[in-house]
Copies of this chain bind each other. A is one copy, B any other.
Amino acid sequence: MTKPEFPSSAVAADIAPRAKASAYPEPFASRMIGREKRALGDLFGLAKFGVNLTRLAPGAVSALRHAHAVQDEFVYILEGRPTLRTDAGARALAPGMCAGFRAGTGDAHHLVNATDAPVVYLEVGDRTPGDSATYPDDDLVARGTSTGWAFSHRDGTPY
A84-139 residues with Cβ-Cβ distance < 8 A to B are: 84, 86-88, 91, 93, 96-103, 105-107, 109, 122, 124, 126, 128
Q: Say yes or no: B84 contacts A9, CB within 8 Å.
A: yes
Complex interface: chain B residues within 8 A of A49 (CB): 48-49, 72, 74, 124, 126
* Chain B residue at minimum C-beta to C-beta distance from A9: B99
- 1/0 per residue, CB under 8 A from B, across A29-52: the answer is 000000000001101111111010
Q: Bound state CA distance, A28 and B84, in angstroms?
A: 41
Chain A residues bordering chain B, tally (CB within 8 A)? 46
Cβ-closest chain B residue relative to A102: B45
Are the CB atoms of B46 and A96 closer together than 8 Å? no
Q: Tell me whether A101 and B8 are in contact (CB under 8 A).
A: yes
Which of B6, B41, B102, B124 is within 8 Å of A6, CB to CB?
B102
Contacts of A126 in B (CB 8 A): 48-49, 126
Known: A2-B106, A9-B97, A40-B76. 11 other contacts (CB 8 A): A8-B88, A8-B107, A9-B99, A10-B97, A10-B98, A10-B99, A12-B97, A44-B100, A46-B72, A46-B74, A49-B126
Report which A residues bind B (CB closer than 8 A).
1-2, 4, 6, 8-13, 40-41, 43-49, 51, 71-72, 74, 76, 84, 86-88, 91, 93, 96-103, 105-107, 109, 122, 124, 126, 128
Name 8 interchain pairs, CB-CB below 8 A, sorted by A: A8-B109, A40-B74, A40-B100, A48-B49, A49-B74, A49-B126, A51-B76, A122-B122
